[in-house]
Amino acid sequence: MGRVIKVISLKHFFVLSMALNVSLILRAINQDNRAPMAVQKGINAAQMTFLSFPLLSSPTAATPATQPLGQNGRERVINLDHGDPTMYEKYWKQVGDKATIVIPGWQSMSYFSDVKNLCWFLEPEFAKQIVRVHKVVGNALTEGRHIVVGTGSSQLFSAALYALAPQDASNPISVVSAAPYYSCYPLMTDSIKSGLHKWAGDAKVFNKDEPYIELVTSPNNPDGFVRHSMVNRTGGILVHDLAYYWPQYTPISSPADNDLTLFTVSKITGHAGMRIGWALVKDVEVAKRMTKFIELNTIGVSKDSQIRAAKVLEVVSDSCEQAGGSEHVESFFHFSHALMTERWRMLREAVKRGGIFSLPEFSSAHCNFFDNNLGSQPAFAWLKCDGDDVDDCESFLRRHKILTRGGKHFGPRFRAFRWAQFQPVIGAQLMYKPAMPLDMSPPKLYSPTVILMPLPSGTTCLQESRDVKSGS
C-alpha cells in the first residue's frame, strides 16, 4: 500500500514539475516583450532554442550520447563562466547618438594627454567625468586623490602591487584576500614572479608577523557581500577593489574613503571592451609609482578609449541628473537595477524549485543614491551545492554543457560555483528530477534540465565551441 502511495506521489510530483516547467516557459515567452531578439532574427517562439538534457543515471555519468549541435555541427554550451557584461547593450542602443563619438584621423596622435598632471597620459575630459560620476552617485570621495588611469582595473591592480611593495625588501611582500576571492588575484599577483610580491592566500587565516597587502573587494566577487579588511591585525596595506560598488549591484551607503581604490568602466556601464579603469590614490608617491608602472608597461593608456569612456560616463551622469526629462526617460542605474532585480528574481525562483543549490541571502540597507532601503543583487551568483550527490559542481555542470566557475578557483575548496548574472539568459532553470521513479529507490539521482528563455539583446550566451577560455 505504502508502495502504491509512493508511486502515486512520485507520479504527481512529475506531473506537477512538468506543469510548472511548461507554465514558466509560457509565461516567460508571453511576458517577454523585452526579448524580441529571437523574433528580430526571424525565429518564432516554436523555433526558440531549448536545451533540455535527458535524464542521466547519476550525476557522474557520461554526457548523453545525443548532444544538441550548433549550425556548424559543434556542441553548444551555455557559458555563465565569464563576467562579460553585455547585458547593458540594450540601454546603450536606446541612448543612440548621445553616446556616439567621432574621432578624426588626426586626433589623439600624441603619447601625451596632460603633461602637467602626475598621470601624464590621463585625458582631462575623462578625469572630469570620473569626478562627476562619483559625485552624482556618491560612492567615492575624489577630493585629495590622484587619478591614475589604466588599461582596465586589471592593469591598475598590477600597478598598485608594484607601487606598494617595498622596493628594497629581501623577500616579496605577501598579498592576501579573504576567501572566496576574485579568482584572478592569485594568477595576476604571481604571473610575472616579480620578486616584489607573492600570493599568500586567504586573508582570514594569514597570521605571519610581516608586512602584507590585503585586497578588499566590495561587493565581493564571487559572493556579492560587502567586505572590510579581514586580516586579524592592523598595519596591512589595503587595496580596495570597488569594481561593483555601483547602485545596480549594492546599496550605496557612503562614499568610499580609502587610500587606494580601483574602479573599472567594465562593470559600471558594461563597456569591458574599452579596457579602461581608474584608481583613486591618496599618496602622491604611490600614484607616481603606479604611473611609472604603466609607463614601463604600455607607455600610457589608449586615448581613444579614454575619450569614449568619458562620453559614456557623461551620459550616465546626465541620465541621473535629467532622469524623467525628454532626453533621458530613466537613469542608467534605474535601468540596470531593474535588470538585475529581474535576473535575481528568476534565478532565486529556479534555485528554489531545484532544491539542490542555495543562494546567499543579503540584508537590505539604505541606498543613498535611490534613497530607499534595498538589498544587494550582485553581478555574480555564488551557488552552494547543498546536496551530497554533487561534489565538484563545475565538472558536473560542465558535463551538461553549462560552464560556470567552480569553487576551487576562489580559495580553499568550496562546494559552490559562480554563475555570471551578466549573460543574457532571461531564465535558466535548474531543475532536478528523480531519475527513475519506478524502481522505488529514494530519488537521489539527478539531472539538470536547463531551459533557455528568449534572449534579450543581440548577443547570445550559447557558444558553439569546445575551447572555452578562462577569463574574468
Sites for ligand PLP among residues 54-93 (CB under 6 A): 83
Q: Does 472 bind ligand PLP (CB under 6 A)?
A: yes
Closest CA to 254 of 143, 138, 363, 370: 138
Output the nine-digit C-alpha cell for 435. 531519475
Q: Which stretch binds ligand PLP (CB under 6 A): 102-110, 151-159, 411-419, 424-432?
A: 151-159
Number of C-beta neighbours around residue 328 at 10 A: 21
Q: Which stretch binds ligand PLP (CB under 6 A): 130-138, 148-156, 192-200, 393-401?
A: 148-156
Q: How far is the CB of 331 from ligand PLP (least distance, A)?
A: 22
Q: How far is the CB of 152 from ligand PLP (least distance, A)?
A: 3
Between residues 278 and 396, which has the closer beta carbon with respect to ligand PLP?
278
Q: Does 223 bind ligand PLP (CB under 6 A)?
A: no
Residue 195 zone, left/alpha/beta (φ > 0; ψ -120 to 50; rest) = left
Bridge partner residues of 381 (DSSP)? 419
Candidate residues 129, 217, 376, 421; the one interacting with ligand PLP per rule CB under 6 A: 217
Candidate residues 79, 218, 261, 266; the one interacting with ligand PLP per rule CB under 6 A: 266
Between residues 63 and 154, which has the closer beta carbon with respect to ligand PLP?
154
Q: Does 181 bind ligand PLP (CB under 6 A)?
A: no
DSSP H helical segments within 32-71, as ranges? 37-40
Candidate residues 32, 223, 241, 318; the one interacting with ligand PLP per rule CB under 6 A: 241
Exposure string over 62-84, b if 16+ CB within 10 A, otherwise e: eeeeeeeeeeeeeebbbbbbbbb
- Is the Cβ–Cβ distance between 79 and 447 less than 8 Å? no
Q: Does 448 bind ligand PLP (CB under 6 A)?
A: no
Q: Does 152 bind ligand PLP (CB under 6 A)?
A: yes
Q: Does 264 bind ligand PLP (CB under 6 A)?
A: yes
Bridge partner residues of 149 (DSSP)? 278
Sites for ligand PLP among residues 369-398 (CB under 6 A): none
Q: How far is the CB of 150 from ligand PLP (least distance, A)?
A: 8
Q: Does 248 bind ligand PLP (CB under 6 A)?
A: no
Exposure string over 20-54, b if 16+ CB within 10 A, otherwise e: ebeebbeebbeebeebebbeeeeeeeeebbebebe
Candidate residues 37, 164, 243, 452; the one interacting with ligand PLP per rule CB under 6 A: 243
Using CB positions, name the residue nearest to ligand PLP. 152
Output the nine-digit C-alpha cell for 72. 556548424
Candidate residues 59, 172, 186, 277; the one interacting with ligand PLP per rule CB under 6 A: 277
Q: How far is the CB of 394 from ligand PLP (least distance, A)?
A: 17
Candidate residues 221, 250, 291, 429; the one interacting with ligand PLP per rule CB under 6 A: 221
Between residues 32 and 123, which has the closer beta carbon with respect to ligand PLP?
123
Between residues 328 and 418, which has the closer beta carbon with respect to ligand PLP?
418
Q: How far is the CB of 265 from ligand PLP (least distance, A)?
A: 7
Q: Does 250 bind ligand PLP (CB under 6 A)?
A: no
Residue in the structure block whose three cell numbers are 539538470: 448
Q: Does 219 bind ligand PLP (CB under 6 A)?
A: no
Closest CA to 68 of 59, 55, 77: 77
Closest CA to 266 of 191, 139, 156: 156
CA distance 291 to 286: 9
- Is the Cβ–Cβ distance between 77 and 70 less than 8 Å? no
Candidate residues 91, 182, 245, 396; the one interacting with ligand PLP per rule CB under 6 A: 182
Tell me: cis bond preceding 412? Omega within 30 of 0 counts.
Answer: no
Bridge partner residues of 199 (DSSP)? 175
CA distance 366 to 374: 6
Sites for ligand PLP among residues 409-438 (CB under 6 A): none
Residues 6+ apart with CB under 8 A from 432: 354, 355, 356, 446, 447, 448
Residues making contact with ligand PLP (CB under 6 A): 83, 152-154, 182, 217, 221, 241, 243, 264, 266, 272, 277, 472
